[in-house]
Amino acid sequence: MKDAAPTTAPETFYLKDYKPFGFEVEAVELTFKLAPNSTRVLSKIRFAPKENAADPRFFLHGEALKLISAKIDGAPVTPELIAGGLICDTPDTPFTWEAEVEIDPAANTALEGLYMSSGMYCTQCEAEGFRKITYYPDRPDVMSTFSVRIEGNEKVLLSNGNPTGSGDGWAEWHDPWPKPAYLFALVAGDLVNHPDSFTTRSGKDVELNIWVRPGDEGKCAFGMEALKKSMKWDEDVYGREYDLDIFNIVAVDDFNMGAMENKGLNIFNSSCVLASPETSTDANFERIEAIIAHEYFHNWTGNRITCRDWFQLCLKEGLTVFRDAQFTADMRSEPVKRIEDVIALRARQFPEDNGPLAHPPRPEQFQEINNFYTATVYEKGAEVIGMLKRLVGDENYAAALDLYFDRHDGQACTIEDWLKVFEDATGRDLSQFKLWYSQAGTPQVQVSEDYADGHYTLTFEQSTPPTPGQPDKAPRVIPIAVGLLSPNGGEVRATEVLELTEAKQSFTFDGLATKPVPSILREFSAPVILERETTNAERAFLLAHDTDPFNRWEAGNALATETRVSMVTEGAAPDGAYLDALEKLVRDDTLDPAFRALVLSPPSQSEIAQSLHNRGVTPDPQKIYDAAETFAQTLAQQLETSLPRLYAATTVDGPYQPDAHGAGLRALNGRILSLLTRLDGGEQAARQYQAADNMTQQYAALASLMKAENGESQSQAFFDQWQSDRLVMDKWFALQVACAAPDAAAGVASDLTGHALFDMKNPNRFRAVMGALAGNHAGFHHVSGAGYQLLAKNLIALDSLNPQTTARMCAAFQTWKRYDSARQALIRVELERILATEGLSRDTHEMVSRILQG
């Protein structure tokens, strides 16, 4: 089921070439006769030719299908099989197309289309997987109702929509809501359910189920609660009600993505739905709640209103990520969620935006759309919506969303449609704002200030570096939230939003008796890099006094970066004033523990590397690692007398609850424990490991011990305890590599690929080892090149099985131009080795080519 090797340069698709399909699809009927190696799919589809179609050709997508027979209006036809599908002569009037194909789900390791996972059948059709199930116009702007009959011996046979009948060995489903094929789903297996129900605000009862393999029933309750909270929240906040009689979620072990929003039948990577206190960390619980919400919210933003073509992917993803972030902020802590999101944005999206893979949130070309499920499309797409909301205000945002649902329900839409509802609802011209969708790269905003006679002026200059295919950029609309503090710490001007629209622009604040301290880009009001000449004293002042929690954290993050940079470049000692500020903050029990934990979490070593690169210094990963170690050791010594008290004060008593407050305390407790372990060699961590009754504390203790190279017996005990739990074993695999010292990381990862429980075909397990290697900054970038070699070797091996996951993991190399010429040469050899692999997939070919060329 592998993609055909590109014999010539792979085809490139362009946004500007869009043409609607030449036929209406009035109804789709599918029958599946399931068999692991020879499933038969019978399709019966009613087509009606459109008048004056721009492209009247009857072309149906199809890949890796064995065509058994085809008919039009009951008469056999012989379509011409061409690259990527078939063409056929058709009548000028509406007609019925029938086809029977055979597919091989058991051999499908790419996990696209219909495949098997641990004995169950399941599907993944986004983006272009449906064409591996049957011949069809597999494009999101073709929407139709689907009726599905499944014949198989499995106990549970599921598809989209509502059940319409079932008997021994068969079940039928009908989805009344027209949908594109990428939202089609089928599941068949010997599954058990965790049932519940939800009554919508108009009084409709909806049956809810989470379907799992026997033995996992006890891990569904949290996910079910998250689902019900999501359903209620979407009614309360967006006025959106659920629209079928039943909503099913299925957990699948082998899955390329996190989860998929198929209409009425969401399919989840089991890591994103199964949870229990014994096997899941607080971070797992929070992520599961967010992903369940995300997929559920797609029912309106993605399913009822979908994308016209895949270039518009951020229309559904940016909006839905934005909505799930709002949900998490409402369920938990708004500032903490914002800080977490910005950390993730800087870790994943900024490197993408500043490297060879940079692309706008709405790309204008692609070879393989699977390569554009990126942080730019998702997270930057969400940032763009956050800016829009800030610019028009909350009431106008709500009005525009109402108009969007009213106007476009049942349609396949574009970014233009989306912006038009905001223009119509607010009367605002958004043509300049639209540049956020078409321009790649992270804008840099330089700020300077001037104070005289009570007037305080901030001057902003924006520019965006060149990105592949976009040498020059026009100024964008950038909302900059600013507050002003008096030198004694009080706020003299509350937050207001300045609208930067020019390349250079000044804003003046009058009537200020003394020169204020500015707090700029509060709540991270725009995804930009702010550059301002300031002092560590002023940063420490903001860390102590800023009334905006995000900027308070940001000041600490900037101090952390500055001290690391001077440690690396000048061999300086850790900054004493910063250590004092950290100590004060961590001991301040009036502050939210989750916030304190975030302030205590250092910037990643990759972020320090980027920071050095931005200052024109070639980063040395080993020196960055050493600075991180020295800093943490110095901080532990500075806090020595307080650590035992802080550890005790942040220990949560009573039975484990995955709530935000408990999670915040445990996050801080985990940070304290890691510092404590640097002083006591792991005594406290060993006690915690022994006593832990939940995974958060067990895992935190194990991580601290392994980092201290004193956790061998606990690691073995952990393995013995959890070896039959796939999700917990993913943690164990990842931790071995994440905790390894730089010169050992590649060796540890290499050994793990030979472990009896390493399974390359399982994306979670592959990512656990290879993702952890790429994330071990000094280990991956070890001067020997062993990290690069090992990753490349494994990517080459995986590509023939699973191109999608292979291609995504190639992004580990995207920052390669930051490093010295010796490392660049080592990486180039590996990238060229991947590219020269015979039969390389289109997915990986495109990714590696872009990384090499950029």
Interface residue list for Zn ion (CB under 5 A): 317, 320
| Whole-number Å distance between alpha carbons of 251 and 555 | 41
* Nearest distance in Å: CB 306, Zn ion: 12
Nearer to Zn ion, 303 or 800 (CB): 303
743 vs 137: CA distance, rounded Å: 51
CB of 294 to Zn ion, least distance (A): 6
Q: How far apart are CA 321 and CA 379, in angstroms?
A: 7
| Tokens describing residue 211 | 């379907």
> Least distance (Å) from Zn ion to the CB of residue 359?
18
- The residue among 188 and 273 lying less far from Zn ion, judged by its C-beta, is 273
Q: Among residues 718, 529, 707, 692, which one has the least CA distance to residue 625?
A: 707
- 317 as an active site residue: the answer is no
Q: Directed axis angle between helix 415-426 and helix 381-392, to 10°? A: 10
Q: Give helix 842-853 / helix 821-835 axis angle, nearest 10°.
A: 150
Smaller CB distance to Zn ion: residue 306 or 611? 306
Q: How far is the CB of 808 from Zn ion (least distance, A)?
A: 15
For residue 691, CA distances in Å to 63, 654, 656, 671 come to 54, 13, 13, 18
Identified catalytic residue from 63, 295, 317, 562: 295
The CB density around residue 754, as the number of other CB atoms within 10 Å, is: 7
Sheet holding 246-252, edge to edge: 192-199, 205-212, 246-252, 265-269, 259-260
Amino acid at 396: N
Structure tokens at 815: 């920052």
194 or 308: CB nearest Zn ion:
308
How many residues in the chain? Answer: 854
Side-chain-side CA neighbours of 306 within 13 Å: the count stands at 26
Q: Are 125 and 306 in contact (CB under 8 A)?
A: no
Residue 850 Rama label (left phi>0; alpha psi -120 to 50; beta): alpha
CA 770 to chain centre: 18
Q: Which is nearer to Zn ion, 126 or 843 (CB)?
A: 126
Nearer to Zn ion, 319 or 686 (CB): 319
Cβ distance to Zn ion smaller for residue 318 or 658 = 318
- Identify the H or E element spanning 387: helix 381-392
- By beta-carbon proximity to Zn ion, the closer residue of 318 and 479 is 318
Shortest Å, Cβ 268 to Zn ion: 12
**For Zn ion, which is the closer residue by CB, 320 or 414?**
320
Structure letter (DSSP) for residue 470: B
CB of 317 to Zn ion, least distance (A): 5
Phi-psi region of 170 (alpha: psi -120 to 50; beta: other; left: phi over 0): beta
**Nearer to Zn ion by C-beta: 238 or 647?**
238
CB nearer to Zn ion: pick between 319 and 500: 319
Please enumerate in sequence order all residues whose Cβ is within 8 A of that of 303, keeping only pairs 6 or more positions apart, or say none: 177, 179, 183, 261, 263
| Beta-strand pair 265-269/259-260 | antiparallel
The nearest distance, CB 221 to Zn ion, in angstroms, is 24
Closest CB to Zn ion among 299 and 551? 299
708 Cβ contact partners less than 8 Å away, ≥ 6 residues apart: 677, 678, 681, 682, 685
* CA 272 to mean position of chain CA atoms: 12
**Residue 595, C-beta contacts closer than 8 angstroms, at least 6 positions apart:** 333, 335, 336, 339, 549, 553, 664
The encoded tokens of residue 807 equal 């291609």
Per DSSP, the residues of 160-176 read SSEEEEEETTEEEEEEE
CB of 320 to Zn ion, least distance (A): 5
Q: Which two tokens stand for residue 586?
A: 């961590």
Rounding to the nearest 10 degrees, give the CA dihedral for residues 606, 611, 614, 619.
Answer: -60
Write phi, then psi, for 94 (nearest 5 degrees): -55, 145
Does the bond joining 185 to the residue before it have cis omega, within 30 degrees of 0? no
Q: What is the CB neighbour count within 10 angstroms for residue 690? A: 11
Measure the CA–CA gap between 62 and 56, rounded to whole angstroms. Answer: 18
Q: How far is the CB of 144 from Zn ion (least distance, A)?
A: 22
Q: Which of 118, 101, 120, 109 is closest to 61 using CA atoms?
A: 101
Nearest to 63 by CA among 105, 111, 124, 4: 4
Spell out a b/e string for 106-115, using b for 16 or more CB atoms within 10 Å of the CB, else e. eebbbbbbbb
Q: Which residues are the active-site residues?
A: 295
